Amino acid sequence: MENRLDIDTGLRFFFRDPQWGRKLLIGGLLQLTLIGGIPLAGWALEIQRRALRGENEPLPEWDDWGKYIVDGLKMWLVQVVWGLPLIILWVVTFFPMMVLLLGADTSSPPNEALFLGISALFFCAMPFLAIFGLALYLFWPLYSGILADTGDILQALNPLRVFKLLRASFWQTALAGLFGYMAIYAASMVGMMLLFIGMFFLAPIGLAIMHHFFGQAYRIARAKLPAAEPAAPQLPA
């Protein structure tokens, strides 16, 4: 396997499947529903699973709904747990200030000392929010890779394993995150220009490309772990 990202494949693999239009349509229709994001996340995780095995085409068929729903729920749970410190810090610092401002009567301004205290807390927390947000940016390709590789939620939540993988391949992981998030952003911007409805039908493209890059990054990091590092049990191909 290459020890660098295959950027060309990561950007073009989606459209090399002759059935990509049909599969995109299904993903877009799922996006229009309240719960369709769950199987869509599981479908994207299957793309990541195939990418870390070096299997780029074709795109997964929409024929294993039970697996996609279970994988999507696992992905959702892992993301929530990893993001929990950021969510708590944001709520503790930002939410009180918004409540104070929105609940203030124009004839009765908010208590100045309380407002200054909450504002100071918010601005002091900003560096921590930025640092942890950047850390999540780097961790996502790896903890999702562990989940795709093993199907084990606890392993995906193991920070020591994620840190080892990140240390083994920092720059390729960062690059995968950059290309992945750019794909999501580009799909969202083009979708907004298509009267917003396009966002629902282009989002699966961005999601698929992102998880393909994530799968590549995880495969590279896993291959660079020291030989003494025990390999995580993998799901059968």
3-state secondary structure of 60: coil
Is position 115 within any domain? no
Residue 234 lies in a domain: no
Looking at the structure of the chain, the number of domains it has is 1
Kindly state whether residue 22 falls inside one of the protein's structural domains: yes
Does residue 153 belong to any structural domain of this protein?
A: yes
Report how far residue 149's alpha carbon sits from residue 29's, in angstroms, rounded to the nearest whole number: 28
Give the predicted TM-score (pTM) of the model. 0.84
Residue 199 is predicted with a pLDDT of: 75
Give 177's contacts (C-beta < 8 A, 6+ positions apart): 137, 138, 140, 141, 213, 214, 217
Residue 75 belongs to domain spanning: 7-85+141-224
Residue 180 within a domain: yes
In this structure, is residue 95 part of a structural domain?
no
Looking at per-residue pLDDT, the higher value among 194 and 144 belongs to 144
Q: Which residue has the higher pLDDT, 106 or 186?
A: 186
